[in-house]
Structures are given as C-alpha cells and as structure tokens.
C-alpha cells in the first residue's frame, strides 16, 4: 500500500482542523461526519478515504495536541544548556500552543473520555511523558521537593496555561502570553524558594489540586 500523498496529507489536516473546531464548539456527540466534511469542503463520504470514522478523527485531533507538545518539549530540553533554560523554554512553548490551539485544548479536556480505552491509555502515556520533562527540569531547581510535590506544581501550571481555552480574552496574544509566562515562572520560583527555606518547619508554598493538559 502506498504512502500518503502531499495532497492526501493536506486533506487529512483540513479534516482534523475542522473536527477540532466543530467538536470544541458543539461537543463530540453533536457533530456528524457530514458536518465535518462541509466544514472542510468535502462530502461526508470523502472522509472515509482518510479516516475510518468520527472516532478515528477524534483520536487524530487529540494526538495532534499531545504529539505537538511532546515533540517540541523534547527538542527544547535536549537543546537547553541548563534546567532553568529548559523550564523557561517549556513555558514559552506551552503558552504559544495554548494561545494558538485553543480548540485542541478544549477537545482534549472535554472529549478524551469518548476515546476507546486503548487509545486513552496510549495518549495518557504520552501525556505523562510530557509532564515528566517539566518535573525533571524543576527537580534540578528544587531538589528539596518530593516528586509528588513537583507534579502538583507542574500540573497546577498546566491548568493555569490551559485556562485560556475557557475564557473570553481581553488582551491581545502578546500581552496575554507575556502575563501567562510570568505567572507560570513565578509559580515555579515559589516552589523553589519554599523548598530551600523549609528546614523542618511549616512550608510556605501550599499544595493545590489542578487539572492536567494534555
């Protein structure tokens, strides 16, 4: 069987993008194959040349979000001279993703439960690998913290950055991105300070629960 042609790849991208937008707006169960085809400029039947059905399209949408974040994060960490630069680069990349791919974030947060169990497990492994890159970098800056504590901090930051998908923006992307970056960096610095200051007394950085990303 031959590989995907450039035209076929472009059409698949169109279908995935259309699915992300429609599902983010209406919800998975309110979007039909014909709706996706119309949004992408093809007939509903033409979709089946590229995807087995709506479930496979949903998988492709969520894979795009997770794969883009994980691949970029691995490159950032590999090229960073130290943990501080790695963490700063990770924040910047996630901020950019959150501001430009809000539909993907919305679909992941709201519709991942509609995936088949094996797909959910596979995507959660990738999500875990993404979070581990952040936790590993932060661990080098806050060695007094347990890994469980660092995971709380990292996932709290994910919740902060991904929140742009949940509200109407009042700032332009540049200003909102700068503010998000500053808040995320401040959260990490607070966890580092608390770890250094903690000598058996009460900790100054309270734990918090937060939803994950990806």
In a domain, 42, yes or no: no
pLDDT digits (tens, 9 = 90+) for 48-77: 989 988 889 998 988 888 888 999 999 999
Please state, as a whole number, how many other Cβ atoms lie within 10 Å of the Cβ of residue 197.
12
Taking the model in full, what pTM does it have? 0.79
Domain assignment of residue 138, given as a range: 56-197
The pLDDT score that the predictor gives to residue 212 is 42
The residues of the chain scoring below 50 in pLDDT are 1, 199, 201-214
The pLDDT score that the predictor gives to residue 46 is 84
In a domain, 166, yes or no: yes
The pLDDT score that the predictor gives to residue 198 is 59
In a domain, 5, yes or no: no
Q: Are 22 and 39 in contact (CB under 8 A)?
A: yes
Domain count of the chain? 1
Distance CA 146, CA 165 (A): 30
Q: Which domain CATH number covers 137?
A: 1.10.357.10
The pLDDT score that the predictor gives to residue 1 is 40
Q: What's 166's DSSP letter?
A: G
Q: Give the SS3 label for residue 207.
A: coil
pLDDT digits (tens, 9 = 90+) for 94-110: 999 999 988 888 888 88
In a domain, 212, yes or no: no
In a domain, 32, yes or no: no
CA-to-CA dists, residue 59 to 41, 78, 108, 123, 176, angstroms = 21, 28, 10, 9, 30
In a domain, 205, yes or no: no
């Amino acid at each position: 069987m031959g590989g995907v042609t450039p035209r076929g790849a472009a059409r698949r991208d169109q279908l995935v993008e259309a699915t992300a937008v429609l599902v983010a707006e209406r919800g998975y169960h309110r979007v039909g194959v014909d709706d996706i085809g119309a949004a992408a400029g093809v007939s509903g039947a033409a979709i089946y040349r590229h995807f087995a059905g709506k479930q496979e399209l949903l998988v492709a949408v969520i894979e795009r979000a997770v794969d883009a974040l994980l691949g970029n994060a691995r490159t950032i960490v590999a090229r960073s001279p130290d943990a501080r630069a790695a963490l700063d680069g990770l924040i910047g990349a996630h901020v950019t993703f959150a501001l430009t791919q809000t539909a993907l974030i919305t679909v992941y947060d709201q519709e991942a439960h509609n995936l088949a169990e094996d797909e959910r497990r596979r995507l959660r492994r990738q999500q875990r690998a993404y979070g581990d890159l952040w936790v590993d970098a932060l661990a080098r800056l806050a060695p007094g913290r347990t890994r469980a504590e660092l995971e709380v901090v990292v996932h709290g930051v994910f919740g902060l950055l991904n929140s742009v998908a949940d509200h109407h923006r009042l700032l332009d992307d540049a200003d909102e991105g700068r503010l998000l970056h500053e808040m995320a960096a401040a959260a990490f610095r607070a966890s580092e300070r608390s770890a250094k200051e903690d000598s058996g007394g009460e900790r100054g950085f309270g734990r918090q629960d937060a939803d994950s990303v990806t």
